[in-house]
A and B are shown apart, each in its own frame.
Chain A
């Protein structure tokens, strides 16, 4: 019977053929049905209850031309697995306390990233724009920058303004430093010299055609540290540059540091800004409570060591600190899974001299116990992975530790470190994956549909592929916007490994094990 909800609704009369039709419609109503119902129920009728006859674009499936499947042989990019550079810099800026990013470009370059943040994190994000119009493209963006910064300061009183350039401002060749100096001069005139103590500025150059969001975060790490890190007196803290991981991941890093008794400074800490509680009354303007403070980032020049957890996202900052302040930089790998988390913990213990606590060893043991309990389900399963290079390399290693076989690995951004890590893994665990370094999802999708794959580890953009190929999907990485809660959970560390392992094994059980088999 069509799902009409309210029993007061009269059914339209149908004969036996109609009954078969309804079964085919799977409980949905045709357009004709909806418009001829004598009464609409209180629950209304949504679009997913409407049965739409799909029209194929062409009469039959035509397999794609073999010569242009590989992205290296194509000019066009179909379904890119990467964004443009400014987004990474914006992500970094949003992780600072009372920092408002200012995008020197057209309004779209601020609104679109805001939409993306809202979708993924379900939090409000404030990003100001210089609002380029046609005259700006001709005359340059100085007026917009100067006016914009002044408006921002007097209304929002931020601590930091992070200026991010985009392709339009880079192409027209805006001299950002020069404009900023002019802006500062005018601010001093209007508000007095103390304004420059209250508000600090950073400029990050991120032309979108010169790399992806991964590179944007990297550049922001370097530019923030260049602008603010000042060596005073040495401390025994440890710097952490996390990369583009979720707020839950960052909380897990803090947890590990706390257990070990180490004080850490986390650069671009989005766990305080992109996952905030709903507490009334709300102060205006809306500023999240957390984020890395200016004083903390200045203190980063005094630490014992810098850990850049993601090799491609933040290593530029770590190497800058090494060159300038002689702070050793420890780069990657992302601590997902046993081996990588062990390395992080051991390195932390080595650098700070603190022992590895019992609780941490117990957490490791629990993860190992979980792996021991479930290897029968995971071993020899074939996996395809997609996403950003650091998380993909880390997830692939974890998946190998579970005994699975990675078959098709896609990194949206081309990366040498990623390629190197995968080669090492392939030798260690003795498998031969097909690697798409910097490819797009179209060729990855084509490969998956031809091979026999048991599981996909990917982001929300892989949902269509998973449904079409009939392969279950475990969501990991960026962006995940069609399910809730992923930004609050960790994938890294030992506890994160347990959570990810549970997801993977439960997904396999859902799809591979018949429901009438009860676990013995």
Chain B
């Protein structure tokens, strides 16, 4: 259904093919804009490449592996210590002294392809690089080799290298082929990582059955948390609640997790799926391959977190667990109510615009309502149809939705809808400020974990700090605005 004329953005007049990417939400009859299709070239898109999705989002948080990037130095440099996906695993920097940053963020390891490698092939270099890095990193759990545009186009056979290296070092060596031009956005990278990782994991488990969880070690309440990347220590708030519920967490995919644990993923009883854009694929595959079901969950906001805990308890059909869930929800809600009331009072009626990758838009629509704020528009970079269905189900009617917005559209929406706050990422942060609109970083957070009950206070606080910073008052001074 095309959007009404009043909603057509001026900046897209000469590229009317963008209008099919916009929609107004509707609860009864969900409206899905065109999504996950080719980007319009030259429209100043915000999308990234598949390599970012594969290595940056899903592969990066793996805590103890060597992340070997088979490319010229740029691709590795751009991802060196950028996202704050923290972990407990640290390497040594000197006798008795640990490194300043966790292992997955500390180093950028690349083969730095040069002209002769592009012409003659880089497999020999890759093999040597893997073995040298292995010698320099004792204790690593495995190697993940990523290919990029360059190595994808020159056709290096990285799987062969992986097999040879695996034979030599005796630990898993996986190859993730997600070159940048793959797919239309980061989303393809997520997909490729999930599929390829699953395939290689299944093969490895067959060849080395000792890495699987032994029968006697399994408990009836084993779960995995899938799609949680431990931004700013979200896991410090997530894990304890599930443990209090009575579950045992076998592995987290992939926040700060060890390779050994990741290989035990199919041995759990239930997968709790948080980021449903990047990791639904592997949950489906595990369900097909190992008959482990999954339950969708959202760890943001009071209502959604409560539902997640209840769903998990219901799955296990244990009275004790269901009671426990209620107790936890009660206690947690009490713990945050005083602070939350303070913020609700301050944020009542404020308008907020959402622009995140995909799932966070629907994760946070309910959260905004809980905080008393009104969502004026929602935009996603790489969402698929199911994401838009969920947004339609949760948002108020006639919410303006844009798929894969570009910079000009963002500017126009900011001017047209005039939100008090814009929840977005780093690139748009500085743009929004030039228009006098405060922002909160929605990908890597500003300060502190935002998940579950207790993290909501941090989220509310950062929003409050954005809206009430004294500087915005000065930007509107009459004498100085032209």
Interface, chain A (partner B; CB < 8 A): 8, 31-32, 34-35, 37-50, 52-62, 64-65, 68, 74-80, 82-87, 100, 102, 105-109, 111-116, 118-119, 122-134, 136-137, 143-145, 147-152, 154-156, 166-168, 171-172, 207-210, 212, 276, 278-282, 284-286, 442, 449, 461, 463-464, 467-469
User: What are the 8 closest A-B residue pairs judged by CB atoms, nearest first?
Assistant: A84-B74, A58-B139, A108-B49, A148-B42, A148-B41, A106-B180, A46-B448, A76-B129
Whether B39 lies near A131 (C-beta < 8 A) is yes
A-side contacts of B429, CB under 8 Å: 118
For residue B124, which residue of chain A has the nearest CB? A75
A-side contacts of B137, CB under 8 Å: 57
Shortest distance from the beta carbon of B328 to any chain A beta carbon, whole Å: 10
Whether B101 lies near A108 (C-beta < 8 A) is no
For residue B53, which residue of chain A has the nearest CB? A108
Whether B47 lies near A111 (C-beta < 8 A) is yes
Q: Which of B126, B153, B431 contacts A168, CB < 8 Å?
A: B153
Interface, chain B (partner A; CB < 8 A): 11-12, 14-15, 38-52, 64, 68, 72-82, 84, 86, 88-101, 103, 106-115, 117-118, 125-126, 128-130, 132-133, 135-140, 149-150, 152-154, 179-185, 232-233, 236-237, 239-241, 244, 334-336, 338-339, 342-343, 407-408, 411-412, 415, 426-431, 433-436, 447-449, 454, 457-458, 460-461, 475-476, 480-482
Whether B49 lies near A109 (C-beta < 8 A) is yes
Shortest distance from the beta carbon of B195 to any chain A beta carbon, whole Å: 16
B-side contacts of A54, CB under 8 Å: 88-90, 98
> Given A34-B454, A77-B112, A171-B150 in contact, is the A280-B475 Cβ separation under 8 Å?
yes
For residue B154, which residue of chain A has the nearest CB? A171
Whether B43 lies near A151 (C-beta < 8 A) is yes
Whether B236 lies near A112 (C-beta < 8 A) is no
For residue B99, which residue of chain A has the nearest CB? A468
Q: What are 20 of the A-B contact pairs (CB < 8 Å)?
A: A31-B240, A40-B454, A46-B458, A57-B90, A75-B111, A76-B110, A77-B73, A77-B111, A83-B74, A85-B74, A87-B74, A111-B47, A130-B42, A131-B184, A134-B181, A152-B42, A155-B15, A167-B118, A168-B149, A209-B115
Whether A128 lies near B92 (C-beta < 8 A) is no
Report the Cα distance A295→B62, complex, angstroms. 52
> Given A77-B111, A468-B94 in contact, is the A133-B339 Cβ separation under 8 Å?
no
Report the Cα distance A170→B115, complex, angstroms. 11
Whether A280 lies near B476 (C-beta < 8 A) is yes
Q: Which of B38, B91, B342, B415 contacts A57, CB < 8 Å?
A: B91
> Given A76-B129, A280-B475 in contact, is the A167-B149 Cβ separation under 8 Å?
yes
Residue among B94, B430, B476 with the highest chain A CB neighbour number at 10 A: B430
For residue B96, which residue of chain A has the nearest CB? A61
Q: Which of A48, A64, A84 contacts B77, CB < 8 Å?
A: A84
Shortest distance from the beta carbon of B373 to any chain A beta carbon, whole Å: 17
> Given A76-B68, A168-B149, A172-B153 in contact, is the A45-B129 Cβ separation under 8 Å?
no
B-side contacts of A52, CB under 8 Å: 86, 88, 233, 236
Report the Cα distance A44→B450, complex, angstroms. 10
B-side contacts of A83, CB under 8 Å: 73-74, 77-78
Whether B125 lies near A62 (C-beta < 8 A) is no
Whether B236 lies near A208 (C-beta < 8 A) is no
**Number of contacts between A and B (CB, 8 Å)?**
375
Report the Cα distance A143→B434, complex, angstroms. 34
Shortest distance from the beta carbon of B204 to any chain A beta carbon, whole Å: 21
> Given A43-B461, A65-B135 in contact, is the A285-B408 Cβ separation under 8 Å?
yes
B-side contacts of A149, CB under 8 Å: 42
For residue A460, which residue of chain B has the nearest CB? B81
Shortest distance from the beta carbon of B332 to any chain A beta carbon, whole Å: 9
For residue A53, which residue of chain B has the nearest CB? B88
Whether B101 lies near A464 (C-beta < 8 A) is yes
Whether A55 lies near B448 (C-beta < 8 A) is no
B-side contacts of A113, CB under 8 Å: 78
Whether A285 lies near B433 (C-beta < 8 A) is no
Report the Cα distance A106→B74, complex, angstroms. 13
Beyond the given A76-B130, A107-B48, please list 4 additional residue pairs across the A-B interface where CB-CB is below 8 A: A45-B454, A78-B133, A84-B73, A154-B15
Q: Which of A50, A87, A130, A131 contacts B236, CB < 8 Å?
A: A50
Whether B132 lies near A112 (C-beta < 8 A) is no
A-side contacts of B133, CB under 8 Å: 76, 78
Whether B129 lies near A144 (C-beta < 8 A) is no
Shortest distance from the beta carbon of B122 to any chain A beta carbon, whole Å: 9
For residue A171, which residue of chain B has the nearest CB? B153
Whether A285 lies near B11 (C-beta < 8 A) is yes
Shortest distance from the beta carbon of B439 to any chain A beta carbon, whole Å: 11
Q: Which of A58, A127, A156 contacts B408, CB < 8 Å?
A: A156
Whether A108 lies near B42 (C-beta < 8 A) is no
Whether B72 lies near A118 (C-beta < 8 A) is no
> Given A47-B232, A133-B181, A209-B115 in contact, is the A68-B136 Cβ separation under 8 Å?
yes
